[in-house]
Amino acid sequence: MLQNHTILITGAGSGLGLGIAKYCKAQGAQVIVTDIDQDKLQLIASAFDEQDLLLRCDVTQIADLYACKSAIQAKYSKLDAVIGAQGIFDGNLPIQSMTAEHLDQLFDEMFHVNVKGYLLTAHIFASLLKASNGALVFTTSTAAYAADGGGAVYTATKGAIRSLIQQLAFEFAPEIRVNGVAPAAIGNSQLKGPKALNLDHQKQSDIPKDAFLNLFQSISLLQDLPDAEDYGAIYAFLASQHNKVMTGQTIVADQGLLNRAVLTQAH
């Protein structure tokens, strides 16, 4: 699907982003893998080769994004798609369980990574994507569609991305297609918590596997817990030149989670 495609994946040092990057490479793409954590990039280097680029990049920093853009131009002279996969989780904590000061810090931290990072990425790489009639694919969440997919701040950031997809599709048309994916559960998710709540050393994968699987199966129509690469085909299609029919849309990839029983008890 992705022969002759050059694709940038942000936040791809682990978890969802890494799964997407591996899938895109398997489909023939040259991939640029970026992450804020240099150690993560060194750990995954063996999964990629000289056709690819692994770059440290903080998507909240303009200088980092421009350095990434320059490296891409120097190696490939083009860019066909940007897939945004970075994000942090708020631990699903109610706002009344924290102090006002913690909430203030949490808002700034999460909106910087989960929203500002996407905005700056879109702005800085738009010229390359316009030249290739390329694509932006952003990651939102089922939390943007229903309560209890995260706490209030995480939910607000993912709702913002859902709306941003529509606005950027309007602003960048017709040269750039802008779409999104709203995943639900991800096996072995590496999504971290925020520093503002001292949760930056905790990951969703720290939840015991059996407990996570039991919870997933109790609320989902599909019972196989997907891993990161299982979402890859959706991102790859939206990023590819094969997509000639969609822009301004978000695909809700929720394993039937939002199609909840209302009158009938689950068996």
Instruction: Give the contacts of 66 (CB within 8 A, at least 6 positions apart).
Output: 124
Alpha-carbon distance of 236 to 43, in angstroms, equals 24
Among the residue ranges 75-79, 188-192, 237-241, 255-259, the one predicted with the least confidence is 188-192
- Using 50, 70 and 90 to split pLDDT, how confident is the model at 190? low
DSSP assignment of 93-158 equals --GGGS-HHHHHHHHHHHHIIIIIHHHHHHHHHHHHHHHTT-EEEEE--GGGTSTTSS-HHHHHHH
Domain layout of the chain by residue ranges: 6-253
The tokens describing 261, both together, are: 């029983």
| 3-state class percentages of the chain: helix first, strand second, coil last, to nearest 5 | 45, 15, 40
* Separation CA 200–CA 75 (nearest Å): 34
Sign of the CA dihedral with 220 first, then 222, 223, and 227 last: negative
Mean of the per-residue pLDDT values for the chain? 90
Distances (CA, A) of 197 to 88, 89, 97, 121: 12, 11, 11, 26
pLDDT value for 153: 95
CATH topology of domain 6-253: Rossmann fold (3.40.50)
What single-letter amino acid sits at 150?
G
Higher-scoring residue by pLDDT: 190, 27: 27
Structure confidence at residue 148 as a pLDDT band (50, 70, 90): confident
To which residue do tokens 């950031």 refer? Answer: 157
CA atoms within 13 A on the CB side of 113: 25
Asked if pLDDT for residue 168 goes beyond 70, the answer is yes
pLDDT band at 41 (very low <50, low <70, confident <90, very high): very high
- Structural contact between residues 27 and 21, judged by C-beta atoms closer than 8 angstroms: no
Task: Tokens 């994946």: give the residue.
Answer: 9
Report d(CA 154, CA 192) in Å as an integer.
12
- Sequence-distant (6+) residues with CB within 8 A of 25 are 31, 47, 48, 52
For 207-226, what is each residue's pLDDT tens digit?
A: 556 666 676 676 778 777 78
Q: What's the pLDDT at 257?
A: 80
Region 169-183 average pLDDT: 97
Asked whether the predicted pLDDT for residue 198 surpasses 80, the reply is no
The conformation of residue 224, written as its DSSP 8-state character, comes to S
> Catalytic residues, which ones?
154
Could you tell me the two tokens for 84?
């945004």
**pLDDT at residue 232 greater than cutoff 90:** yes
Q: What is the pLDDT of residue 259?
A: 80
d(Cα 247, Cα 131) in Å, to the nearest integer? 17
* pLDDT cut 90: percent of the chain above it: 73
